Chains A and B, each alone.
Chain A
Amino acid sequence: MSSVDDTIASTIFQLKQVSQDTADRFAALAVELPKRLSTDDFEEYAGICVSIAESGWRSFVPVNLLIDIARFEDVDLLRVARFGNSLSNYSFEPASRYLETVRSLARSGRLDRLPAMEAAGNRLAKSNPGATTLIAQFFEVSRLILQDDTDQGTPWFKLVEATSGETRADVAKLLQLSLAAVDSAHPVNWPQVLRFQQLSTSSALTYLEKAPVLSRKLEPKLFDRLEELLLLHVSRLESLIDIALSLELPATELAVVLELGDKIGESDVLVAFLECASELPLAREAVLRAWLQHGLRANAGNARAMKAYVQLDSLDSVRTLDALKGQVNFHDHRRTFDLLAESLSARPIEVVGFEDEESSLRSLSGLPETNGRQVRLPASVNLFEDRDDNFGFYKVSLFHQIGYVEFGCFPEIGGIRRTLQEFEDSRLAERLFVIVEDARIDWQLSVRYPGLAPQLARQKSRAAEQRHPPGSELAQYLEFMVLAGLDALPEEKMLPAVANRLCSLVSSMKTPDALVSDSLEVASQCYELLAAWSGEQSGHRHYQAGNQLAMPDELPPPIDYRGELDVEQVESVLRLEAVLEELQDEVTDDAVQDGPQISMPISEQDRIDVGELKKGDVDAGVAVLMSELDAQLLDEDPGMLEELLDLGNKQQLLEFLSGIGARSRDAEKHRYDEWDYEIGDYRPAWCTLYEYADLDEDLGYADRTMQEHQDLARRIRQQLNKVKPEMLRKVKGVIEGEDLDLERSIAYMVDRKAGLTPEERIYVQRQRKDRDVSTLFLLDMSASTDDIIHDPDAPAIEPPDVDDDEYLVQYFQQRREYEKSARRIIDLEKQSALLMADALESLGDAYSVCGFSGYGRDQVDYFLCKDFDESLNARTRGRIGGIKPCRSTRMGPPIRHATQRLVETGSRIKALIIISDGYPQDHDYGTDRNSRDYGLMDTMKALGEAKQQGVLTYCLTVDPSGHDYLRAMCPDSQYMVIQDIDQLPEELSRVYRSLTG
C-alpha cells in the first residue's frame, strides 16, 4: 500500500468520526485527485481536510465544500485549503463562507478575483481577531458581489480593506449596507463609495446607506452632479443628502441649485443654501448666479454672514435679489399708491399690503381686493423679469380697484346688491355681474387712461394665457365670459351658440359710455340666457327663472390683477361709513345748537369700549353690526332707533360705531430689521413689534403720585419753565437790532431829505419765538424693573436669631409688608414720567409716553400710554399708572419704532429719552444667550439710525453697572447712570432741558 492509500484510508477514517457523508465524499474524490496532485500536495490537502473537520461544530460543512472545490481543476487547491484552514480556527462559518465563494468563483470561471478577496479577508481577520461572524459575513457578501457579472468586486475589496482598521461596528455596518445594496435593484457605484471612504469612513457609510434612495429620486445626470458636490462637503454629507431628498423641485430647477451650490465653499453655507433653495426664484438662473456671486464677494471670510445671506436673512441679500429680479415691493411704493388712490377716487382710500409673512419670492402673496374703504395689494410682485412690468402690475391692479369707485360701481353698490338679491340664485347673478363689471372697468380704464392701456393689455393677455378650461359646462360659459372681458376669445365659430351670445353681451360693454347700470342689465340678460339654456338642458320647454340653474361648484378662478369683488362686503362697509358720517353730522349739529355743555368733542380715548366686538375681523364685525342695526333697530322696534337717535344716545351710537372702526388699531403690527454684528448686515423684517394702545389703566396710581410728590412736581415745572423757545424768527421794523433793513433805511433817508419826520423802526432783529419740539419717553418694562429699590435709611428687617416659630411668622409678615410698600424701579419710571408729563403740559411741548417689553423677536410689545396729539387726561394718566413689569428688554425694535413715530411728527427738535434698568437682553437676542454683544450692537445701531434721522437720543439707566455698556453704546453726553435713584425725576427734567432747550 502506497503512502497515498494510507493517507486516503486514514483520512476517511478520521472524517468518518465527524460525518459519514463527508467521508464518502472524500472517498469519491480520492479516486481522482491523487492523479492531479503530487503525493506531498495530496497529503497536505487531506491533512487540511482532517484539520478542518476536527475544528469544531458543523465543521463537516467546510470540509464538504473543500472536497467540492477539488473537482475544479483550475483552482489552486492547496492555497485555498490553507486559507480555509486558517479561517476554520475561528469557527466553521468563516471557512464555509469563504469556500462557498471560492466554489462559486470556480464555477463561473472567475478565480482571478480570489487573491483580492483573500487579501481583504486577511486584513479584516487581522484587524478584527475573533470576529467570526464579521469575517463570515464578508465572504458571504463577497460572493454576492462577485456574482454580478461586473468587475466591481475589486473596489469593494479595497473598500473593506480600507475600512477594516475602523471600529468593528463600522465594518459590520459596511457589510450590512453592502448586503442591502447587493440586494437592491440599483447597482452601487463602488469606486464612488471608495472615494468617499478615502475622505471619511462615516461619509462612505452614509453615502452607501442613502445613495440608493437618492439615485431613485434623481435623474442620473443630476445624481452624478450631486455626488461631486457631496464629495466636496463630506463633513455635512448626511444633512446634504437629507435636504436633497426632501427637495421637491423639477429637474431643471434642481440643476440650477446644484450648479449654484458648486460655487459655495463652506459646507455649512451649502447646507443653508439647499435648505432655502425652494424659496428662491429658481426659474431665473442668471439672477441667482449674480445674487450668489455678490454674496460670496461681499461676505468672503465670514461664513456666518454668508449663511444668513443664502438664507435670505440679511438685508443685503434680500435687496440684491429684489433688485436683480426686478421685484417691486409694496412697502417701497406705499405712499405713491396711497396718493394715487386718493387722486383717482377723490376720497381717502387706504392702500395696504398683504402681510410680509404671506409674501413669497416665487408667486403673488395675495390677490388685490377692496372693501370700499381700503385697497389691499400683494406685498411684492415679481411676475415679470422687468421691474417696470412688475410695477405695472401694481398700477393696473390699483387703477382697477379704484375703478370701482371712479366708474360708478361703488356709489351704486346698495342698489346693485338689492337688484342682485332679487335673482333666484343671487350668487350666480353676483358672479355674472362681477365678470361683466370687471370687464367694463378695464375697458373704461383703457379709454380714459390711454397711457395705461398698453400695460393693461399686457396684464390681460398674461392673465388670459394662464387660464384653464373648467370642468362643468356652466363654468365653461362663465369662463368664456371672463375671456371675452380679457379680449382673449377664441374664434367665434369655435364657440357654442349660448357662449357666443354671452360673449357678445359682455363685449357690448366695450363702449366708452357704458355705465354700471348697463353692467347690471347685461348681467341680468346673461342670467336669463343661462337659465333658458339650463331649462333646455333638463328638457323643459318653458323654463322658470332659476329653477334649474344652479351655481357651478367650480367657478372660474379670479384674475390676479383684478382680484375678487365681494359685493356684499363692500356694501356693508360703505353703508356703515354712511351711517357714521350721518351720525357725526347730526351729533355735531345738535351739539352746536344745544350750546357749550355738550359741545365737548368726543376724543378717541373717551370712546366706549366695545368689549365683545374686539375679537374677530373688522369686516365680519361690521357685517354683524349692520345686520343688528337693520334687524333690531329698524324692523323690530322702530321706536328704539328714535330713542337711540336722541342726542345722548346718538353720541353713544357714534362712539360705538367708531369704536368698531378703531378696533383694528388695538394692536398695530410693525416689522423691523435687526442688526446682526456677526454678519455685518441687517436681518430684514426680523422683529415683529405690536403696538398696543389699550393698556390697563390705574388712575389711582397717577393721582397718588401727584399728591405725594407735589413738591417735586413744582420744582420740575419751575425748571422746565426756564426752557427758552428755540426757533429764531426775523423780526423787521424794530427800534434796535442786529441789522439794518435796507428798504426802511432808504425810506428814512428820503424822508429826511424831504423834510419829513422819518420812521425810526429800521432795524431787523432775530428773536426766539417758537418751540417746535416733540419728545418721546420710552420706558423699560422688563421683568427686572420689578426689583425693589432699597432705602438705605430704612431699618433693616433681619431674620430673628432665635429659632422660634412666632418670631419667624412675624419676620415674614414684616418682610411682606415691606415688599408691598417698597418702591420698585418701575414705580420710579412711572412717577418720573407722570411728573414730566405734568410739567410738559404747562410748557406746551408735544410729547409721548411709551413702554416696551416682549419675549423673542416675534413678540416685541410696545405700549402707547400717551400719544403726541393726545392730551394728558384721565385715560392717558391712567395708562401711565397702569404700566407693569413684563418680560425681556429687546431694545432695538422699540427704539426704531419710537424713532419712526418721532420722525412722523415733523418737529424740528425730536428727542427720544430711554429709561431702562439694565443692558438689552432677550432670549433670542443673538445666538449666544450669554453674550451681550448682539443686543448692545443692535441697540447701538438703532440709536445711530435715530441720530441719522435727526432724533436726539438720551439713555438714562438706574443700573449701577450701566457705565460699562452705555459707554460702548452712546457718546458720554448722551447717557447718564443715575446713582441715587430718587434723583430720576429731577435728572429727567434736566436732560429734557439740555436736549430741547
Chain B
Amino acid sequence: MENDVSLEPVPGYTLEEEPYYLPLADEVELFEAAYQQRLPVLLKGPTGCGKTRFVEFMAHRLYRKNGQSTIRQPLQTVACHEDLSATDLVGRYLLKGEETVWQDGPLTQAVKEGAICYLDEIVEARKDSTVLIHSLTDHRRILPIEKLGAIMEAHPDFLLVISYNPGYQNVLKDLKPSTRQRFVAIEFDYPHQEEEARIIEHESGVDSVRASQLALLGQKVRNLKTHGFDEGVSTRLLVYAGQLMVQGVAERRACETAVSMAVSDDNDVQRTVAELADAIFPPS
C-alpha cells in the first residue's frame, strides 16, 4: 500500500553530526562486532547512564562517519510504555476522510530501510509487542504485519537494539528468557567519577572544578540506592545541574532543583541530597 503520510525526519534524528560519547570500556568495539554479524543487542543499565546516547553515537559511527549510508534516518528510537502495542510498532490504518490509509510504524520503517531500531525500556511495553520482535531477532529476520496480511523481510542493514533496566523493574515486568536470550548484552553503569566529570564538563559547559564536584555528588547520592528511590542520580541529571550553573543559578540551588528534587519524593532523602550538595559546594 502507498505510504503517503510518512513524517519528515527531525534533523536531530538524521545524525549528521557526531553525538558526544565517552567510551568507558570496550562497548564500542563490542557493538561494532555485533553489528557486523547483525546480532541483536541488549543494553543493560540504569537510567540516564548514556544508553541512548551510545546508540546514537554508534548509529552515527556505523552509518554516517565515512558516508557509508544515505539512509534518511539511521536510528529509529521508540520509548516503550505500558500501553505500547504491536500496532504502535508495526503500523496501523488511519482514517483519512471516509478512507483508511496505512501508516508504517517505526519498527516497520527501520526494517524496510535498514536502520537501527532502538526500543528503549522494552519491558515496559505490552507483551504482544515483545513477542513481535522474536522473528526479527533470529535467523529469519522477518516482520509479520498482521493487519496487512503480509510478511516483510528485513533490510540487510537492519539491527534491533533494546534497552533494559534491571534495577527497578519489578518481577512481573522482568524480561522473559525467550526474549532475552535473543540478544547479546552489553552492560552499562554510571561512569567513574573522573570520567563522569569529563562528561558533565563537556555536556553542560560547566568548568572542570564544578564538574568534578557534581560527579562527586553523583557518586555519593548513588550510595543511597536502597532508600526510597530506585536508582541513583543519573549522569543526565548531573549534566542538567551543570547547565543550570552555566546559566548562573547558584550551585546549591541548581543541585536542589536538578538533583535533590528529581531523585526522590522522600523528604529525608531530598534533605540528605541537599546536605550533600551543601557540603560539596562552597556557599555562594
Binding site for B on A (CB under 8 A): 335-336, 339-340, 342-346, 395, 399, 448-454, 732, 743, 747, 749-751, 753-754, 756
Contact = CB atoms under 8 A, between A and B. Distances in A.
Contact of A339 (B213, B272, B280): B272
A449 B276 CA distance: 9
Contact of B281 (A345, A450, A749): A450
Contact of B100 (A343, A449, A754): A754
Nearest to B94: A750
A452 B223 contact: no
B27 interface: no
Interface of B: 83, 87, 92-95, 100, 147, 213, 216, 220-221, 223-224, 227, 252, 268-269, 271-273, 275-283
A451 B223 contact: no
Contacts of B273: 343
A588 B234 CA distance: 33
A450 B92 contact: no
Given A448-B216, A753-B95, A753-B100, A339 B279 contact: no
Contacts of B92: 747, 750
Nearest to B102: A754
A345 B224 CA distance: 10
Contact of B271 (A336, A345, A756): A336
A454 B279 CA distance: 10
B115 to A, nearest CB: 26
Contacts of A751: 93, 147
Contacts of A339: 224, 227, 268-269, 272
Nearest to B83: A743
Contact of B224 (A342, A399, A449, A452): A342
Contacts of B224: 339, 342-343
A340 B216 contact: no
A750 B278 contact: no
B227 A452 contact: no
Contacts of B252: 451
A750 B275 contact: no
Nearest to B282: A450
A342 B279 contact: no
B94 A395 contact: no
Given A339-B224, A454-B283, 9 more contacts: A342-B223, A343-B221, A448-B216, A450-B213, A450-B282, A452-B278, A747-B92, A751-B147, A754-B100
Contacts of A344: 220, 223, 276
B1 to A, nearest CB: 11
A743 B85 CA distance: 11
B93 A753 contact: yes
- Chain B interface main SS type: helix
A346 B218 CA distance: 12
A517 to B, nearest CB: 22
Given A335-B268, A750-B95, A340 B100 contact: no
Q: Among the interface residues B94, B216, B275, which one has the most CB atoms of the partner chain A within 10 A?
A: B275
Contacts of B282: 450-451, 453-454
A340 B282 CA distance: 18
Nearest to B147: A756
Contacts of A452: 278-279
B93 A754 contact: yes
Contact of A342 (B95, B227, B275, B278): B227
A753 B98 CA distance: 8
A340 B283 contact: no
A336 B268 contact: yes
Given A342-B227, A451-B279, A750-B92, A336 B100 contact: no
Contacts of A753: 93, 95, 100
Contacts of B280: 448-451
4 closest pairs, A vs B, by CB?
A339-B272, A450-B282, A346-B223, A452-B279
B247 to A, nearest CB: 20
A343 B272 contact: yes
Nearest to B88: A743
Contact of A451 (B220, B271, B281): B281
Contacts of A754: 93, 100, 147
Contacts of B93: 750-751, 753-754, 756
B136 to A, nearest CB: 23
Nearest to B278: A451
Given A336-B268, A750-B95, A756-B147, A343 B281 contact: no
18 contacts: A336-B268, A343-B220, A395-B279, A448-B216, A448-B280, A449-B280, A450-B213, A450-B280, A451-B280, A451-B281, A451-B283, A453-B282, A747-B87, A751-B147, A753-B93, A753-B95, A753-B100, A754-B93
A542 to B, nearest CB: 50
Given A451-B283, A753-B95, A753-B100, A340 B276 contact: yes
B227 to A, nearest CB: 6
A340 B272 contact: yes
B147 A451 contact: no
B270 to A, nearest CB: 10
A750 B100 contact: yes
Contacts of A743: 83
A147 B276 CA distance: 79
A944 B134 CA distance: 57
A540 to B, nearest CB: 50
Nearest to A337: B272
A139 B97 CA distance: 130
Contacts of B278: 451-452
A450 B213 CA distance: 9
Contacts of B220: 343-344
A453 B83 CA distance: 51
Given A343-B272, A743-B83, A753-B95, A399 B223 contact: no
A614 to B, nearest CB: 30
A400 to B, nearest CB: 12
Contacts of B147: 751, 754, 756
Contacts of A451: 252, 277-283
Nearest to B220: A343
Nearest to B274: A336
Contact of A336 (B83, B94, B272, B281): B272
Contact of A399 (B94, B268, B279, B281): B279
A335 B224 CA distance: 12
Contacts of B279: 395, 399, 449, 451-452
Contacts of B283: 451, 454
Contact of B223 (A343, A395, A453, A750): A343
A450 B212 CA distance: 12
A557 B80 CA distance: 62
B95 A343 contact: no
A747 B216 CA distance: 50
A842 B275 CA distance: 46
Nearest to A750: B93
Which of A335, A454, A747 counts the most chain B CB atoms within 10 A?
A335
B95 to A, nearest CB: 6
Contacts of A450: 213, 280-282
A451 B279 CA distance: 4
Given A750-B94, A756-B147, A343 B276 contact: yes
Contacts of A336: 268, 271-272, 275
A452 B223 CA distance: 19
Contacts of A346: 223
Most chain A beta-carbon contacts within 10 A, residue among B95, B223, B271: B223
A753 B102 CA distance: 12
Which has the most chain A C-beta neighbours within 10 Å: B95, B269, B279? B279
B283 to A, nearest CB: 7
B158 to A, nearest CB: 26
B165 to A, nearest CB: 21
A342 B268 CA distance: 13
B221 to A, nearest CB: 6
A258 to B, nearest CB: 42
A342 B100 CA distance: 59
Contacts of A399: 279
Best-surrounded residue of A339, A344, A756 (most CB of chain B within 10 A): A339
